[in-house]
Amino acid sequence: MKTTPTTSGKTVVVGAYTFDQENARKELSVMVCPHEYPLSIVDHIGFRRFCNALQPLFKVITCNTLKSDILKLYNDERSKTMNVLERNKIRIVITTDMWTTSSQNKGYMAITSHYIDDSWKLQSRLVRFIYVPAPHTTEVLSEVLVECLMDYNLDRKVSTLTVDNCSTNDVMIENILTKMSHRNFILGGKLFHMRCCAHILNLIVKDGLQRISHAIERVRDSVHYWTATPKREEKFKETCVQLKIPYTKNLCLDCKIRWNSTFFMLEVAIVYRDVFERLSLRESQYKSLPSEKDWDMADEIFQTLRGRERDQAAQLDMPPPPSIPLSSKGRKFSHEDWQADFAAHSNGAKFPTLQAIARDFLAIPISTVASESSFSTGGRFVMPHHSRLHPNTLEALMCNQDWLWNELGTTTNIGFECYTIYNIEGDVDDSSKSDSTITTITG
């Protein structure tokens, strides 16, 4: 043992220590995946200097080596996930959806599994984030999905498949049912097709907006006029300055088939209501100024959509909550109400078949939000300056992130929210908890 003084006046006791380059490389991969760091971080001079100051023995690897380590981590974590799904004797629920990247223009299918484990904890695992070459026909999509289920040996355990409510998925479901044995399904496959309630609600909202589109048509025309050319945009900003209205958000034109884009358009346009009116007095060619009635109706529509937008944002952009223990009626366990909890478990032992049926049905999600949330993460991985990521690497990054966060959330006593990857506004000092975290990840 050796006592070494530090610049702060404190001393550190240094004992026997063996540096492990391979383990350090693994920890680097574990760091990159959950926090969505770019693979090029190993080429950054600041990162290399930090590593040298922290541990001079560590040889910083190249970007290609890091990619190989991430793929190796993916294979290891995939085996763990397959074993977890295999050990559970209850049925598995699947949600899936397609996503096309804007930077790569490639289509990816997210496949997510859901089940309630033996401890009555609702679990979700991303099974695949697989690249699907065009054309995305119903036959191609059904082949990819069936192949994935068989690779994970889930074809005999799957109970339902939740997809959005489009006619293409109706045909895809029919194709899947012809490729798998009906004996393995609940009621011979009658409950196999589950339609996403969130998507149905979106269709209702869009249909409603179409019926009252006249109320926001002049707002849309106004936004289109003042964003058509850079000169008009500059004049709009100048008018904001004259009226002392902060120009904090750019005008944005909506996409008529996406109600949430209409929400964002109205959110900004309503703030500049006085600006549009002022410009109508100075610009003779601007003839689409909304009337007072139009503005009032637009504001009412915006307030209605804002409640729906908040709900959807909470579902898609927030990290999944840690697994919540459930009783046989789906409520949270209470340490104070231990008698009721004990009775629930006793009933489960008394009626095992009924308990198994309850677990199968309580695990069925009513929407594809679990799969769609992966696309938000995928969009951050495939940024314009990261658009050259190979599909296999992207899948490894996506799946590793999901599996590692689940591992952190279920095998440590540290709150899941402390490790959220979505809070980019500030830093959280978790230095006091870092030792237990590292121990858990390394197994």
Average the pLDDT over 98-125 and give the result.
Answer: 83
Highest average pLDDT, of 240-254, 313-327, 353-367, 401-415, comes from 240-254
pLDDT for res 216: 84
Strand pairing class (92-100; 11-14): unpaired
User: Would the pLDDT of 428 be above 50?
Assistant: no
User: Would the pLDDT of 379 be above 90?
Assistant: no
Q: What is the tens place of the pLDDT at every residue in 24-66?
A: 999 999 999 988 888 999 999 999 999 999 999 999 999 999 9
**Can you spell out the DSSP letters for 90-123?**
S-EEEEEEEEE-TTT--EEEEEEEEEE-TT-BEE
Highest average pLDDT, of 29-33, 195-199, 347-351, 422-426, comes from 29-33
∠ CA(136), CA(138), CA(142), 5° rounding? 100
Torsion sign (Cα): 319, 324, 326, 331: negative
pLDDT for res 424: 28
Average the pLDDT over 133-144 and give the result.
Answer: 89
% of the chain at pLDDT higher than 70: 73
Average the pLDDT over 172-176 and give the result.
Answer: 86
Contact (Cβ atoms closer than 8 angstroms) between residue 212 and residue 266: no
pLDDT for res 90: 80
User: Would the pLDDT of 421 be above 90?
Assistant: no
Mean of pLDDT over the chain? 77
Which has more confidence, 157 or 417?
157
Which has more confidence, 342 or 174?
174
For residue 314, which amino acid is it?
A: A
pTM for the full model? 0.62
Q: Which range is least confidently modeled, 291-295, 333-337, 380-384?
A: 333-337
Distance CA 367, CA 95 (A): 8
Instruction: Tell which residue, 31, 90, 127, has the closest CA to residue 362.
Output: 90
pLDDT for res 350: 75
Which has more confidence, 82 or 3?
82
Number of residues in the chain: 443
pLDDT for res 41: 93
Instruction: Tell which residue, 170, 162, 283, has the closest CA to residue 222.
Output: 283
Q: Which range is least confidently modeled, 46-60, 306-320, 406-420?
A: 406-420
Q: Which range is least confidently modeled, 34-38, 341-345, 359-363?
A: 341-345
